[in-house]
Amino acid sequence: MTSILSNFFISAIAFVIVLGILIFIHELGHFWVARRFGVGIEKFSLGFGPRIWGKTVGITDYRISAIPLGGYVKMVGDEPDAQLEPEMLPLSFTHKHIFKKMLIVAAGPVFNLLLAVFIFFCFFCLVGVYDLRPVVRHVEKESPAAEAGLHPGDEITAINGKSVKSWTDISRSIASAQDTPVSVSIRRGSTAGDIILTPQAKVGKNIFGDEEIKYDTGVTPYLPMPAQVGTVAEGSPAQAAGLQKDDLILSINDHPVDRLEDLHRLVSQSNGALLSITIRRHGEIQVLQVTPVLEKDTNLLGEPIQVYRIGIAAPRISISESDWIRVRRGPIDSLWEGFRKTGEIVHLTLVSVAKLITGKLSPQTLGGPLMIAEQAGKQAQSGIGQLVEFIALISISLGILNLLPIPVLDGGHLLFFAIEAVIGRPVNLRFREKAQQAGLFILLLLMVFVFYIDIARLFR
């Protein structure tokens, strides 16, 4: 009970800290750009509800309000029908040029995205990111790397003349080269040299399960895991068939099994049919019969799925600490990496939103305040680095969410201003109010739905 209360307390505190930082940065964006364009600020509030502390500077009341679940900036003349004294008109948001108003509105989400860029920049430049050393541990038979003469133990130092520091650098260089030949500089013992190899196009699957073309050379920074039995689940098909710990699986239905991935693939594609599994046990070859069963699971996105399994797990194999390296980059490279990583997450988020709208992605993948609080608590207990990285991820999501063209969100305001720029006059006030009411209704429905998913997830 004490542990549950402790976790709840940590999650609640972490949630308030995360939300407070994100809202402050978001509202700071609106505030800073508005001030640059000469718009008066009446209130800058962290939180909603009654004012519990604050300080007035000029016409601006900087305040902390009672409910720490948001925040806002109240600008002079931010309502189209606001009645203003003549001397206040130069400070009025409504009376500024249309493009200045658009920049002020867009600044909040943009600052959220820039916060993520800054966090990633600090990780790459100041802290460093752990990655695998650019050392070949395994070369696939008959692969481009094998044909070019790469050997296990070779250290890759450059690709097409560009220095590589980690295995991630290698993966990106190969992906960008696609199927064009690349020059790979290697160090083998005390000798160095260059080889030419051509990446091979293969059909793979992305995080959403969609097929896509990937380019591979047939080398990995780790040894492939053999299809060896680590544990056998009680009451599983594997136990009923007689599989035991340390059995090495050689083939399934006469299909060779060279590694763990082959085993998973053949079992998952079995559709529950009887499988003939050839194993080696204490040097002896045996053939066992096993029928996979359908089990519930979740994919990488948290969607409920069903997969065929036989009830075995591989032995734990860890990568040696000596294979890891902490990579720090220079300021320019780190800034580029910050924008690149933020861009990758933005792209992933937009694709997710599109798939949700088209029904290709389950709504069960959505997470609301409860899930954010839970994850914030977990990251806080894991360390400050994990919590800061979590803040970057949520900041990106908040920025993208606010840019959606839904009235009452920043994206909705941008939509109205875009229409105004096209037609040459503001959108009809009554229509705008009705649209905002509809947008608020949609957001409330979405919030209720997400809360329901959060609660259902807790009970799962």
Q: Which positions are catalytic?
A: 27
Strand 155-159: give its sheet, edge to edge: 162-163, 155-159, 182-188, 191-197
Supply the DSSP string of 420-451, one letter for each residue. Answer: HHHHSSPPPHHHHHHHHHHHHHHHHHHHHHHH
For residues 335 and 337, give the distance between their C-alpha atoms in angstroms, rounded to a whole number: 5
For residues 356 and 212, give the distance between their C-alpha atoms in angstroms, rounded to a whole number: 20
Nearest alpha carbon to residue 396 among 335, 352, 342: 342
For residues 238 and 240, give the distance between their C-alpha atoms in angstroms, rounded to a whole number: 5
What residues form DSSP beta bridges with 51? 65
Which residues are CB-contacts of 116 (< 8 A; sequence separation ≥ 6)? 338, 341, 342, 345, 392, 393, 395, 396, 399
Q: What would the two tokens of residue 337 be? A: 């990496």
Type and span of the H or E element at 109: helix 98-122
Q: Are 347 and 144 in contact (CB under 8 A)?
A: no
For residues 174 and 185, give the distance between their C-alpha atoms in angstroms, rounded to a whole number: 13
Residue 328's SS3 state is coil
Q: What would the two tokens of residue 76 be? A: 């002079």
Q: Are strands 293-298 and 284-290 parallel, antiparallel or unpaired?
A: unpaired
Looking at residue 126, what DSSP letter applies? I
Which residue has 């098909």 as its token pair? 237
Give, rounded to a whole angstrom, the gap between the first and last alpha carbons of the chain. 19
Q: Are 249 and 277 in contact (CB under 8 A)?
A: yes
Dihedral, CA atoms, 289, 295, 298, 300, nearest 10 degrees? 10
Q: Are strands 60-75 and 162-163 parallel, antiparallel or unpaired?
A: unpaired
